[in-house]
Copies of this chain bind each other. A is one copy, B any other.
Amino acid sequence: MSSVTYDVLGIGNAIFDVLVRTDEAFLAAQAMTKGSMALIDEARARAIYDAMGPATTMSGGSAANTIVGVASLGARAAYVGKVKDDEVGRAYVHDIRAARVAFDTPAAAGGPATGCSYILVTPDGERTMNTYLGAAQELTPADIDAGQIAASGIVYLEGYLWDPQSAKQAFLKASEIAHAAGRKVALTLSDSFCVDRYRDEFLDLMRRKVVDIVFANESELHSLYQTADFDTGLGALRKDIGLGVVTRSEKGCLVVEDGRTTEVPACPVEQLVDTTGAGDLFAAGFLVGLVRGAGHADAGRLGALAAAEVIQHIGARPQVSLKDLAQQNGLPV
């Protein structure tokens, strides 16, 4: 096996976040499903923007948030995702490179604008996302650099990649290369409605061992196995995947591998401000734990710590060095 250049490489929809604090009435008036990610077109994007309050903007995208978290924890990180060469796309490239993430995917010269998500944050801290995929739809297998994938310890993929037509081919190509190089492939199920759209395909990816590690939250697990019973879902997951990690918000997480189950509590949070990125940053911490050879319990603690940091402020990217935070909390990274 050749040497590892990147501890974790993520592939996902490169999305710029437009965050706004709002109230329940706005979600109702806009007929939004609270807590979900809805795909929207340009006209709908315009209508939401016109109706919504003042925005805070920053780079986002689920796997990208995870990868920025991986870098913030001091691990070597790379990202693959498609933006357009427009003002927003250039800001996206600046931000991910400034976070010390290797990023070389060529920007699209033409076509739709860089993707963005209107993220409504209610007073309870829950986020409701409305995503215009834009240039993210232009990601193709040609954007997958075989050498880079083979040199990455873990390839991390988001379920959202199943939405753009050609991205799933990029996903499958990356998995093949990674496995041929003896690497691990991880998948986050992303969103319960996303699971609902691609349930059979996701189960197939797991059962055919296209992916080795799966991250899911409770509602995604319930959606995947169409069950309201958590233990039924967890039992099914255990059979379908080598390593499964289920996050349960303030109840912490469960890690299942073969017959073993490890339960890890959540980190205490002073004030829940915005859950955007909670799952993304949990995955960052857990993956870095794996990379560092930590056990499931410590990997889970690192995930919980990273998630706790990101939900105490607006936005899905860490505001402090997660490596420093981990060290202050006695977790080696």
- Interface residues, chain A, with chain B CB atoms under 8 Å away: 21, 49-50, 52-59, 68, 87-88, 91, 94-96, 98-99, 270, 273, 313-315, 317, 319-320
Number of copies: 2
Contacts of A59 in B (CB 8 A): 54
A99 to B55, Cβ gap below 8 A? no
Contacts of A94 in B (CB 8 A): 49-50, 54-55
Give CA–CA (A69, B326) in the complex, Å: 36
A98 to B52, Cβ gap below 8 A? yes
B54 to A98, Cβ gap below 8 A? yes
Taking A87-B87, A94-B49 as contacts, is the C-beta distance between A57 and B54 under 8 angstroms? no
B68 to A58, Cβ gap below 8 A? no
Taking A313-B313, A314-B314 as contacts, is the C-beta distance between A56 and B54 under 8 angstroms? no
* 7 pairs of residues in contact across A and B, judged by CB atoms under 8 Å: A21-B319, A50-B94, A53-B98, A53-B99, A54-B95, A87-B88, A270-B270
Contacts of A91 in B (CB 8 A): 55, 57
For the complex formed, measure the closest distance between the CB of A119 and the CB atoms of chain B, giving whole angstroms. 13
Residue of B nearest to A20 (CB): B98
Residue of B nearest to A17 (CB): B56
Q: Which one of B50, B54, B88, B319 contacts A68 once the chains associate, using CB atoms below 8 Å?
A: B54
Given A53-B98, A54-B317, 8 other A-B residues pairs in contact with their CB atoms under 8 A: A52-B98, A53-B99, A54-B59, A54-B94, A54-B96, A54-B98, A56-B57, A57-B91
A55 to B319, Cβ gap below 8 A? no
Taking A21-B320, A319-B21, A320-B21 as contacts, is the C-beta distance between A55 and B95 under 8 angstroms? yes
Contacts of A87 in B (CB 8 A): 87-88
B54 to A99, Cβ gap below 8 A? yes
For the complex formed, measure the closest distance between the CB of A194 and the CB atoms of chain B, giving whole angstroms. 26
Contacts of A96 in B (CB 8 A): 54
Give CA–CA (A68, B53) in the complex, Å: 12
Contacts of A57 in B (CB 8 A): 56-58, 91
B317 to A314, Cβ gap below 8 A? no
For the complex formed, measure the closest distance between the CB of A76 and the CB atoms of chain B, giving whole angstroms. 18
Give CA–CA (A319, B274) in the complex, Å: 11
Residue of B nearest to A56 (CB): B58
Contacts of A56 in B (CB 8 A): 56-58, 315
For the complex formed, measure the closest distance between the CB of A318 and the CB atoms of chain B, giving whole angstroms. 9
Residue of B nearest to A123 (CB): B320
Give CA–CA (A21, B21) in the complex, Å: 22
Q: Which one of B58, B68, B273, B314 contacts A55 once the chains associate, using CB atoms below 8 Å?
A: B58
Give CA–CA (A87, B94) in the complex, Å: 18
Contacts of A21 in B (CB 8 A): 319-320
Contacts of A273 in B (CB 8 A): 313, 319
Q: 8 smallest A-B Cβ distances: which pairs?
A: A54-B95, A53-B98, A56-B58, A54-B98, A57-B57, A54-B99, A87-B87, A21-B319
